A and B are shown apart, each in its own frame.
Chain A
Amino acid sequence: MRVIVNKAKCQGHARCWAQAPEIFTLDDEGYIEPGDIKVAKRDELKAARGARSCPERALAIDRAATS
């Protein structure tokens, strides 16, 4: 699984980070680091929950991607 990060839409709510700080890394301004996130099998549930928590809809899940 992969989380597709639309960095331009991130507004620093940090709800993904609140769900899973080890998966979603924030920059010095508290916004998500650019680049899609490869998710290990064991983290899929948490990553999906984090992606779904984004108020701006900046995160999408790509389940077809292999980790």
Chain B
Amino acid sequence: MTKNQLRSNPVPDHVPPEMVRNFSLFTSPGMLPTANGDPHAAVTCVHAGPPIFYAPNNTRDGRGTWVITRASDQRKVLQDTETFSSHRSIFASALGENWPMIPLELDPPAHGIFRSLLNPLFTPQRVRALEPAVRERAIALIDTIAASGTNCDVMKDFAYPFAVNIFLRFLGLPDDRLAIFVGWGKDLLHGDAVKRKAAAQRIVAFIDDLAALRRKAPVDDFMTFVVQAQVAGRPLTNEEVRGIGVLLFVAGLDTVAAAIGFDLAHLSRNPKDQEWLRSKPNRIVVAAEELLRAYPTVQMIRVATRDIDFDGVPIRKGDYISCATMIANRDPAEFECPNTIDLAREENRHTAFAHGPHRCLGSHLARREIVIGLEEWLARIPALRIKEGTAPITHGGHAFGIDNLILDWS
């Protein structure tokens, strides 16, 4: 299908025409790659309209979704897994297959079984134990950057190598294929259908091979844990092992790096915020929550399992419902002055890691990575600004991101 065919997607008959709005996280202004863009600010326009509306082209493959703009409504949707299912096979669909990433694309009660299996590996207490290695990695990268000049591309030289290294360590893998994995991740999340399929095939083959290897020769790492695990008194099937491995792979590649990029871009453009955090490094933990609120990266999509009248909106079985974190996090009904980024904001129940049973499994690790990244940057590199003559390119879409960020401290 061409893009034009996708755009002419018919609006389903049950959607009242007055509830349709010309909005898309993929094609609205500021969503396509934009120099010096601010995609998070660009989506705040929805709050001038109705709390729920229908967007005819709001997924990567051009499907329509309902858009839930209020944080309180998103909470209702994400907490009600009986009505709003997560089973979508986002990854497998790139291969023309239908199997879930686990636990993300399972619904309760099956979801809870796998979540309970994995939760202990990602608790805040466990993350504390990983912290020295995370910090060591941040310091090594930043010291290399500092030694080689007075500017760098934060994304290429820090954000990706940092976040992806930590995830590779978690899987028990060496660093030598890091650049290849980042490339797969980029193709998968942002490539066209051909690139997506090729990347998905490579990732599946890689996870399957790794699982086979760990079955034969167990070591002390995540994949060994998964292939040896039992659920409901039985070992995991190959498809379940793959579903877990693929989810971890995809989740570890992009979001933390993007968050670090957006955060350092904000501090570079707002010298007062930067100076304040430099003078009060113990406030970075609180500031990181505000940066998570202001610059979250993902939208959750749910599928209605039955017909439901949701505050007067006729949602029908099979409809897609978009809960975009970047929209809820700028909801004026939830946050005072939502478009003011106040690094000292205390009341901050943002939705960057979603709500309900699918709350981001890696949230505690992600938080620490972001905090440690900011701490070490501010401690080791002097006043940062965007290098003159360069422009960070930002984009919206399925996962918001920033492609380049050339910072200068000469």
Chain B contacts with A in 95-135, Cβ cutoff 8 A: 116, 119-120, 122-126
In the complex, the answer to whether A28 meets B120 with C-beta atoms within 8 Å is: yes
The answer to whether the Cβ of A34 comes within 8 Å of any Cβ in the partner chain is no
A17-B124 contact in complex given A11-B355, A56-B355, C-beta closer than 8 Å: yes
Q: How far is the CB of B25 from chain A (nearest CB, A)?
A: 22
Chain B contact residues: over half helix, strand or loop, or mixed?
A: helix
| In the complex, chain B residues whose CB is within 8 Å of the CB of A12 | 119, 123, 359
Chain B contacts with A in 216-230, Cβ cutoff 8 A: none
In the complex, the answer to whether A14 meets B355 with C-beta atoms within 8 Å is: no
The answer to whether the Cβ of A52 comes within 8 Å of any Cβ in the partner chain is yes
In the complex, the answer to whether A53 meets B349 with C-beta atoms within 8 Å is: yes
Contact of B124 among A9, A26, A54 (CB under 8 A): A26
In the complex, the answer to whether B123 meets A30 with C-beta atoms within 8 Å is: yes
In the assembled complex, the Cα of A21 lies from the Cα of B369 at a distance in Å of 20
Contact of B364 among A14, A53, A54 (CB under 8 A): A14
Contact of A29 among B120, B347, B351 (CB under 8 A): B120
In the complex, the answer to whether B123 meets A11 with C-beta atoms within 8 Å is: no
| In the complex, chain A residues whose CB is within 8 Å of the CB of B126 | 30
**Residue ID in chain A nearest B353 by CB atoms:** A13
A29-B359 contact in complex given A14-B124, A17-B124, A54-B349, C-beta closer than 8 Å: no
Q: How far is the CB of B361 from chain A (nearest CB, A)?
A: 9
The answer to whether the Cβ of B79 comes within 8 Å of any Cβ in the partner chain is yes
The answer to whether the Cβ of B363 comes within 8 Å of any Cβ in the partner chain is yes
Among B124, B347, B351, B364, the most chain A Cβ lie within 10 Å of the Cβ of: B124
A31-B119 contact in complex given A14-B364, A55-B349, A55-B351, C-beta closer than 8 Å: yes
In the assembled complex, the Cα of A16 lies from the Cα of B125 at a distance in Å of 14
In the complex, the answer to whether B116 meets A29 with C-beta atoms within 8 Å is: yes
In the assembled complex, the Cα of A9 lies from the Cα of B359 at a distance in Å of 12
**Residue ID in chain A nearest B122 by CB atoms:** A30
In the assembled complex, the Cα of A52 lies from the Cα of B349 at a distance in Å of 9
| In the complex, chain B residues whose CB is within 8 Å of the CB of A57 | 75
Contact with B along A51-67 (1 / 0, CB 8 A): 01111110000000000
The answer to whether the Cβ of B16 comes within 8 Å of any Cβ in the partner chain is no
| In the complex, chain B residues whose CB is within 8 Å of the CB of A31 | 119
The answer to whether the Cβ of B357 comes within 8 Å of any Cβ in the partner chain is yes
A sample of 17 more A-B contacts (CB under 8 A), given A28-B123, A54-B349, A57-B75, is: A11-B355, A11-B359, A12-B123, A12-B359, A14-B124, A18-B124, A26-B123, A29-B120, A30-B124, A30-B125, A30-B364, A52-B347, A53-B348, A55-B75, A56-B75, A56-B79, A56-B356
Closest 5 CB pairs of A and B: A30-B123, A29-B119, A11-B359, A55-B349, A14-B124
Residues of A within 8 A of B (CB): 9, 11-15, 17-18, 26, 28-31, 52-57
> Can you identify 14 A-B contacts, CB atoms within 8 angstroms?
A11-B356, A14-B364, A15-B349, A29-B119, A30-B119, A30-B120, A55-B75, A55-B351, A55-B355, A55-B359, A56-B79, A56-B355, A56-B356, A57-B75
